[in-house]
Amino acid sequence: MSTAVENIAAAAPAEADHGRTERLFAAQQVKALSLRTSTAAERIEKIKRLRQAMFDRSEQIYKACHADFAKPAPEVDITEILPVVMEANHAIRHLKGWMKPERKRPTLLMFGTSAEVRNEPKGVCLIISPWNYPINLSFGPLISAIAAGNTVILKPSEMTPHCAQLMDDIVSDLFDEDEVTVVQGAVQTSQHLLGLHFDHIFFTGSPAVGKIVMRAAAEHLTSVTLELGGKSPVIVDKTADIDKSAKNLAWGKFANNGQTCIAPDYMYVHTDILDSFVEAMRKAMTKLYGDQAQMASNADYCRIVNDKHYARVKSLIDDATERGARVSMGGVEANNDNYIAPTLLTEVDRESRVLSEEIFGPILPIVPFTDSDRVIDEINAQPKPLALYVFARDNDFIDKVLSNTSAGGSCVNHSMVQFLHANLPFGGVNNSGLGNSHGHYGFKAFSHERAVVRERFSLSFLFLPPYKGFTRWFIKFATRWLV
* Vertex 468 angle, CA 465 and 474, to 5°: 85
Other beta carbons within 10 angstroms of residue 370's beta carbon come to: 10
Please, is 413 exposed, middle or buried when counting C-beta atoms within 10 Å of its C-beta (0-12, 13-18, 19+)? Answer: middle
Euclidean distance between CA atoms 218 and 224, whole angstroms:
9
What is the tally of helices (H) and strands (E) in the chain? 17, 16
- Tell me how crowded residue 374 is: count the other CB atoms within 10 A of its CB: 11
Pick from 239, 224, 309, 228: nearest CA to 269: 239
Asked if residue 432 lies in contact with residue 405, where contact means CB atoms within 8 angstroms, the answer is no
DSSP 78-136: IIIIHHHHHHHHHHHHHHHHHHS-EEEPPPSTTTTEEEEEEEEE--EEEEE--SSSTTH
Catalytic residue among 65, 163, 261, 411: 261
137, 171, 263, 415 from 133: Cα distances, Å: 6, 17, 13, 17
SS3 track for 337-349:
CCCEEEEEEECCC
What is d(CA 230, CA 242) in angstroms, rounded to the nearest whole number? 26
Catalytic residue among 227, 302, 358, 411: 227
d(CA 394, CA 240): 8
Active-site residue, 227 included: yes
Residue 428 DSSP code: -
**Cβ atoms < 10 Å from Cβ of 261:** 30
d(CA 341, CA 325): 16
Instruction: Please give the distance of CA 316 from its chain centroid, rounded to a whole number.
Output: 24
CB-CB contact of 155 with 193 (8 Å) = yes
d(CA 395, CA 398): 5
Q: Which contiguous run of DSSP H or E holds residue 389?
A: strand 387-391
d(CA 474, CA 464): 11
Amino acid 21 reads T
Q: Which residues are catalytic?
A: 227, 261
